[in-house]
């Protein structure tokens, strides 16, 4: 009996994607775990794999197709011993018919089989040690929703639990709400602005998925999140001297610290010491995080992405530097995993390399704050009641005023300033 392969959901919020590249062709034999295609989401390009074995009977969505809805049937797989041509024919005139939507079940005789991204989630087991049969995608979604798979009956092959079995399933009780589980207000709709070229020569540039997402999320942030901005001027002389000394000591380890690496560390430490700012607003409750995961803005072709340095407060600056270089490189290649750019407890955006003296960044919802870093420059500065020339930068914190009071934001900015001006304190 033939099976259908559907457009997978590669993240909890994914609704559509671009089928960037097929890694198989019609007639190829595939086994469980084989890579089928590359899917481009709004932030990254990811591979997904087959769950069962068979022969690719028909590819229904050509590579390069944009805006493919999650759940759309993209290929037909014939089982072992089944004639591939007959399997493709039995699926109906798929080439002429519109792709099915995500919710309706596929027409028989085909049965739905999920394609999923590789996952590190372990296969769950019940109390007697029996392994629960579940697709990788079902396990990942169950973990995200807090669903106990041992309480579900699978409708897939040999009783395997698939994505459809999780629909309507109750979440298991948890001690604290996870950030991804927090209900959010619906995203505001943006009324299209009528184009007016006034006869000026121009070209029409189609927005890619990333740019659409940036437009939607930042509009949501400015409309729904009351921002408060706090700015401090910070002397960099001691930080620059320490960076130079550390780089000399790290010369044999192929590590070269940047100022940004040290600022990531400083913000992580400051958030732990001022936990009132390491929070997320969630309607009638608030999440206060015990770890500082710093999302760092990285400019890539077509937009901006924020890979996350997890636990920046507890990591050494050499580890932060190595991790940040790897994340930035993979971000520019579109190879980040969703968990590497979704989440974070606060953000840091540095535009100093462009000579920007000061700016106010828009909060990346649902986070509670973002730190905007300006360029370090030589300025007249009062040191010990005497006017001197010092290396100074301006840093501006944007805070969600629903969750963070101005006084708490000021404490964070003051501590951040102290840590940068006396950097040995954050390395202790």
The ranges assigned to domains in the chain are 3-166, 211-427
State pLDDT tens for residues 118-167: 444 444 444 444 567 776 667 767 776 777 777 777 766 556 676 667 76
* Predicted local confidence at residue 136, as pLDDT: 62
**Residues with active-site annotation:** 401
Percent of the chain surpassing pLDDT 70: 76
- Tell me what pLDDT residue 170 has: 59
Low-confidence winner among 93-107, 122-136, 236-250 (lowest mean pLDDT): 93-107
Say whether 249 sits in a helix, a strand or coil: helix
Q: How many angstroms separate the CA atoms of 421 and 423, rounded?
A: 6
Which run of H or of E encompasses 113?
A: strand 111-113
Which pLDDT score, from 0 to 100, does residue 20 have? 85
- Position 117 scores a pLDDT of 42
150 Cβ partners below 8 Å, 6+ apart? 124, 126, 132
Does residue 237 carry a pLDDT above 90?
A: yes
Q: Which residues contact 323 (CB under 8 A, 6 or more apart)?
A: 309, 315
Mean pLDDT of 281-300: 94
Mean pLDDT of 1-30: 83
Q: By C-alpha distance, which of 376, 403, 404, 407 is closest to 390?
A: 376
Mean pLDDT within 38-53: 79
Looking at every residue in the chain, the average pLDDT score rounds to 81
395 contacts 374 by C-beta, under 8 angstroms: yes
More confident residue, 362 or 15: 362
Q: What is the mean pLDDT of residues 354-379?
A: 96
Q: Which of 89-93, 172-176, 267-271 has the lowest mean pLDDT?
A: 172-176
Q: Which of 384, 381, 361, 380 is nearest to 372 (CA)?
A: 361
Mean pLDDT for 213-228 is 90
Region 211-427: CATH code: 3.30.559.10
Q: Which class for 401: exposed (0-12), middle (13-18), buried (19 or more C-beta within 10 A)?
A: middle
pLDDT value of position 141: 72
What is the rounded CA–CA span in Å between residue 349 and residue 398?
11
Residue indicated by tokens 């986070």:
367
What's the sign of the alpha-carbon dihedral 315, 319, 323, 325? positive
Residue with tokens 């197709």: 65
DSSP one-letter code for 313: T
Query: How would residue 78 be classed by pLDDT, with cut points 50, 70 and 90?
Result: confident
Per-residue pLDDT averaged across 246-269, rounded? 93
Q: Which has the minimum average pLDDT: 99-108, 259-268, 335-344, 392-401?
A: 99-108
> Which has the higher per-residue pLDDT, 102 or 32?
32
Quick one: which of 258, 370, 268, 371 has its CA closest to 325? 258
Cα 194-195-201 angle, rounded to 5 deg? 170
| Number of neighbouring beta carbons within 10 Å of residue 95 | 10
Angle 197-202-207 from CA coordinates, rounded to 5°: 90
| Cβ atoms of 321 and 250 closer than 8 Å | no
The CATH number of domain 3-166 is 2.40.50.100: yes
Q: What pLDDT, on the 0 to 100 scale, is given for residue 174?
A: 40
- Give the 3-state secondary structure of residue 22: strand
Beta strands in 236-274, from DSSP E residues, in sequence order: none
Burial class (CB in 10 A: 0-12, 13-18, 19+), 266: buried
């Amino acid at each position: 009996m033939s099976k259908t392969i559907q457009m997978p959901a590669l993240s909890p919020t994914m609704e559509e994607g671009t089928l960037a590249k097929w890694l198989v062709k019609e007639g190829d034999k595939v086994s469980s775990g084989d890579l089928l295609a590359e899917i481009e989401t709004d932030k990254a390009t990811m591979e997904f794999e087959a769950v069962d074995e068979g022969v690719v009977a028909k590819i229904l969505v050509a590579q390069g197709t944009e805006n493919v809805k999650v759940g759309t049937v993209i290929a037909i797989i014939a089982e072992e011993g089944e004639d591939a041509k007959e399997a493709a024919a039995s699926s109906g005139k798929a080439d002429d018919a519109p792709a099915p939507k995500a919710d309706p079940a596929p027409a028989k005789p085909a049965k739905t089989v999920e394609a999923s991204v590789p996952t590190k989630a372990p296969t769950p087991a019940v109390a007697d040690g029996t392994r629960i049969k579940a697709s990788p995608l079902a396990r990942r979604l169950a973990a995200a929703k807090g669903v106990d798979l041992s309480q579900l009956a699978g409708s897939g092959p040999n009783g395997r639990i698939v994505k459809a079995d999780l629909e309507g399933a109750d979440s298991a009780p948890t001690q604290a709400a996870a950030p991804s589980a927090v209900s959010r207000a619906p995203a505001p709709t943006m009324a299209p602005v009528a184009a007016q070229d006034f006869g000026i020569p121009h070209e029409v540039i189609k927005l890619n998925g990333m740019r659409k997402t940036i437009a939607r999320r930042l509009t949501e942030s400015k409309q729904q999140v009351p921002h408060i901005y706090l700015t401090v001027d910070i002397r960099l002389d001691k930080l620059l001297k320490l960076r130079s000394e550390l780089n000399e000591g790290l010369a044999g380890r192929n590590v070269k610290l940047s100022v940004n690496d040290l600022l990531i560390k400083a913000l992580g430490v400051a958030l732990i010491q001022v936990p009132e700012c390491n929070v997320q607003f969630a309607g009638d409750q608030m999440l206060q995080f015990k770890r500082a995961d710093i999302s760092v803005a990285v400019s890539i072709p077509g937009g901006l992405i924020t890979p996350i340095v997890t636990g920046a407060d507890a990591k050494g600056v050499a580890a932060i530097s190595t991790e940040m270089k790897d994340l930035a490189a993979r971000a520019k290649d579109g190879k980040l995993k969703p968990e590497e750019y979704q989440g974070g407890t606060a953000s840091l955006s540095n535009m100093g390399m462009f000579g920007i003296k000061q700016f106010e960044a828009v909060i990346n919802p649902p986070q509670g704050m973002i730190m905007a870093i300006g360029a370090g420059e030589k300025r007249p500065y009062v040191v010990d009641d005497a006017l001197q020339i010092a290396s100074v930068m301006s840093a501006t914190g944007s805070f969600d005023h629903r969750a963070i009071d101005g006084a708490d934001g000021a404490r964070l900015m003051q501590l951040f300033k102290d840590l940068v001006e006396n950097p040995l304190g954050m390395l202790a």
